[in-house]
Amino acid sequence: MDVAIIDYYANHGKSFLHKAKAFWKIIFAALIIASIIITIEFYLLLGIYIALVTITIWTKLPVTKILIIAAYPAIFALIFALAMWNGSWLKAGVIILKALSAALTMVILIVTTPYPDVFNAIRPIVPKIIAEGLFVTYRSVFILLELTDDLIKGLKVRGGITRRKYISNVKNFSSGIGLLIVRGFDYSEKFYGVMNVRGYGGKISSENTKTGINRNDIIALIIGILIFAISLGAIIEKSFLKFSVYIFICSIIALVISSIYVQFNN
Amino acid sequence: MAGWIITALLLAFSIYRVRNNEIKRKIPLIGIISALMIVCMTIPIIPPIYHINLSVIAGIILGPAVAFISIFIVDLIIAMFGHGGITVVGLNTVVIGTEAFIGFYLFQLFMALISRDSIMWSSGLAAVISLILSTSILIGVIYVSQINPEIVVGIEEEHPTEAENIGDIPNELVKGINIKSFAKTILILLGVGWIIEGIITAFVIKYVSRVRPDLILPERA
């Protein structure tokens, strides 16, 4: 997980998705996830995945890096596909594509939306302790990442992690995690003290969730609705599945055109 | 979907349990442990299939109710990173939350049964057993989720006793997963990871108990 890189992408991108509001992007992501859940046809799913890759290209962020970040669940999907193996490549492909597409949808959402905006948008539907916990966790991750980095460097420089000394490596590494816990608790005590001084009453995050709609929000919404409508169409009318190969070909064409367009406009 | 429903119910129960325990004080604590779990998940033990997740440590330090809330936050955030599926956040939370829950009570039990000085053995054993049990639950859930409910209902009408036990359901009713090969793959891949995580948990708890003993055995929700 490249937490810091994802955060950088979310805060420094300039695409239409970066400009769209978190609320509408969550709707966009929910529509695509719903379409991935209801789709069981290989070519249609492949079409959705390629459409998502095309959207990733439109974000003008490093596409390969984002695809790698979103590829992690494929490992477990692969294990699951192997366990379900009945000689059908298409069935295995469906399992893997579902995992890849759902992960890519979430990564697209998060590389184009700063976390605080996402947390603010979901705030009305989650309990207060979860909403506040999300904010504090997000803030603490970066502090702990820095501490971990220093800790690993320190362990290496002082011979705490050396080749072929597995037991002592595990012991030193574990003590390092213990140290992070102790420091983390000290930090949380200080954090709580500072917040108390500032009049903290159990609420950190702002409730400023704008849901007004602009051009970028509409584009995101239309894409989401379009993908969901195609998947729903395939469920309602089975004969629609005959066209899934054409949908797949259309998504390939869109991918090629988008790649060329973005390449020449960068 | 069932995973999400169970998680929602357990979350409601956990929040109910911590409501009297100065909730505003718990939030920074939840944030730190959740962040630590996320950071440790970035360090793979057996790349790329196994990383430590500190769930048992979270259970021992925070107590089962607060640890469950913390684990839900972690699962939600890592799903956004593309590290786990958003649709399986519920199921992941139930499985990892089980580790924290069982880990906490086993740790208490071992501390009482063995000796209060054997904190390393108690925490290490609690971690390994919790991980084995949670993986068994995961395999069980996947097995059950593959059963076609319509066929099960049909059986129930004709042969009520056969449907009472999932283990009695004939293999042909299961939609296609070879549960034996799936279980074997999972157990082989994760077995080594459990032992390593057990050792790490033992050393971490030993370290924390020496430096800040108040963190290991305070009053918890």
What are the chain A neighbours of B72 within 8 Å (beta carbons)?
130
Query: Which 3 state secondary structure label does DSSP give A245?
Result: helix
A44 pLDDT more than 50 = yes
Domain architecture of chain B: domains with CATH: 2-215 (1.10.1760.20)
Q: HSE of A63 in the Cβ direction (CA atoms, 13 Å)?
A: 15
Shortest distance, CA A198 to any CA of chain B (angstroms): 13
Shared domain for A27 and A102, answered yes or no, is yes
- Residue A143 lies inside a defined structural domain of this protein: yes
Answer with the one of A147, A173, A197 that is the final residue of a domain.
A197
Q: What is the pLDDT of residue A210?
A: 61
pLDDT reported for residue B102: 92
Model confidence, pTM: 0.78
Distance separating alpha carbons of residues B9 and A121, to the nearest angstrom: 22
Does residue A173 fall inside a structural domain?
Answer: yes
Q: What is the nearest CA distance from B1 to chain A, expressed in angstroms?
A: 11
Q: Is B173 exposed, middle or buried (0-12, 13-18, 19+ CB in 10 A)?
A: middle
Looking at residue A51, its pLDDT comes to 93
Query: What does the pLDDT read at residue B47?
Result: 61
Residues A77 and A133 grouped into a single domain: no
Beta bridge partners of B51: B44
CA neighbours closer than 13 Å in the CB half-sphere of residue B138: 24
- Residue A36's closest chain B neighbor by CA? B87
Backbone angles phi, psi at B84, to 5 degrees: -145, 160
* pLDDT tens figures, A70-104: 887 787 778 777 777 777 788 888 888 988 898 89
**Is the minimum CB–CB distance between A87 and chain B shorter than 8 Å?**
no
Mean pLDDT of A260-266: 80
Is the minimum CB–CB distance between A88 and chain B shorter than 8 Å? no
Residue among A229, A223, A233 at smallest CA distance from A254: A223
CB–CB of A188 and B83 under 8 A?
no
A83 plus A141 within the same structural domain: no
Residue A260: give the domain boundaries. 3-120+211-265
State the CB neighbour count (10 A cutoff) for residue A133: 30
Q: Are residues A229 and A146 in the same domain?
A: no
Of residues A33, A144, A175, nearest to B35 (C-beta): A144
**What distance in Å separates residue A115's CA from the closest CA in chain B?**
9
Chain B neighbors of A75, CB-CB under 8 A: 48-49
Write the ipTM. Answer: 0.76
Q: How confident is the model at residue B164 (pLDDT cuts 50, 70, 90)?
A: very low
Are A35 and A79 found together in one domain? yes
List the single range of A174-178, A241-245, B207-211 with lowest mean pLDDT: A241-245
Instruction: Tell whether the model's pLDDT for residue B137 goes beyond 70.
Output: yes
Whether A249 is covered by a domain: the verdict is yes
Residues of A in contact with B176 (CB under 8 A): 84, 86, 91
Q: What is the domain count for chain A?
A: 2
Residue A222 pLDDT: 93
Q: With contacts defined as CB-CB under 8 Å, which chain A residues touch B205? A: 178
Of chain A, the percentage scoring pLDDT greater than 70 comes to: 92
Query: Which pLDDT score is estimated for B177?
Result: 63
pLDDT digits (tens, 9 = 90+) for B48-69: 666 778 889 999 988 888 889 9
pLDDT top residue among A201 and A260 = A260
Residues A114 and A131 in one domain: no
- Does residue B163 carry a pLDDT above 50? no
- Residue in B closest to A126 by C-alpha: B8
Question: Given this model, what pLDDT does residue B159 score?
Answer: 43
Cβ–Cβ of A80/B182 closer than 8 Å? yes
3-state secondary structure of A171: helix
% of residues, chain B, pLDDT over 70: 74
Query: Among residues of chain A, what percentage have pLDDT more than 90?
Result: 15
Distance CA(A98)–CA(A117), nearest Å, equals 27
The residue of chain A nearest to residue B146, with distances taken between CA atoms, is A84
- Average pLDDT over chain A reads 83
Predicted confidence at residue B175, as pLDDT, reads: 53
Q: Which residues of chain A have a CB within 8 Å of the CB of B79?
A: 106
pLDDT band at A133 (very low <50, low <70, confident <90, very high): confident
* Residue A121 CB contacts under 8 Å (≥ 6 apart), including other chains: A21, A22, A23, A26, A209
Contact state of A188 with B28 under an 8 Å Cβ cutoff: yes
Residue B71: what pLDDT?
92
pLDDT band of residue B190 (cuts 50, 70, 90) is confident
pLDDT in tens, B6-33: 888 888 888 887 776 566 677 888 888 8
Q: What pLDDT does residue B104 have?
A: 92
Same domain, A146 and A167: yes
pLDDT, mean of residues A55-80 = 84
Q: Within an 8 Å CB–CB cutoff, is residue A240 touching chain B?
A: no
Are the beta carbons of A65 and A5 closer than 8 angstroms?
Answer: yes
Same domain, A172 and A221: no
Q: What would the two tokens of residue A110 be?
A: 């998060």
- The pLDDT confidence band at residue B155, using thresholds 50, 70 and 90, is very low
- For residue A133, the chain B residues in CB contact (below 8 A) are 27, 30-31, 34, 69-70, 73
As a whole number of angstroms, the distance between CA B135 and CA B98 comes to 10
Pick B103 or A238 by higher pLDDT.
Answer: B103
Tell me, yes or no, if A213 comes closer than 8 A to chain B by beta carbon: no
CB distance B27–A82 less than 8 Å? no
Q: What are the chain B neighbours of A181 within 8 Å (beta carbons)? A: 33, 36, 57, 61, 204, 208, 215
A75, A179, A185: residue with CB nearest B49: A75
Mean pLDDT value across residues B165-176? 46
The answer as to whether A205 is a domain residue is no
Task: List, in sequence order, every residue forming a beta bridge with A145; answer none if it has no partner.
Answer: none
Q: Give the per-residue pLDDT at B172.
A: 45
Side-chain-side CA neighbours of residue B16 (13 Å): 6
Q: How far apart, in Å, are the Cα atoms of A230 and each of A40, B10, B64? A: 12, 36, 44
Average pLDDT over residues B158-175: 43
Mean pLDDT of B139-157: 57
Residues pairing with B174 in the sheet: B147
Tokens of B124: 């290490």
**Residue B62 neighbours by CB under 8 Å, 6+ apart:** B29, B30, B33, B70, B100, B220
**Whether residue A143 has pLDDT greater than 60:** yes
Domain presence at residue A204: no
Quick one: average pLDDT of B154-169?
42
Read off the pLDDT of each residue in A158-168 and give the average, rounded to a whole number.
Answer: 75
pLDDT of the residue at B176: 59
Q: CA separation (Å) from A115 to A7, A62, B163? A: 8, 19, 46
Are A189 and A243 part of one and the same domain? Answer: no
Does the pLDDT value for residue A122 go beyond 50? yes
- Single residue among A197, A227, A248 that ends a domain in this structure: A197
Question: How would residue B90 be classed by pLDDT, with cut points 50, 70 and 90?
Answer: confident
Mean pLDDT over A44-50 rounds to: 91
pLDDT, position A225: 94
Q: What is the pLDDT of residue A205?
A: 55
pLDDT value, residue A246 = 83
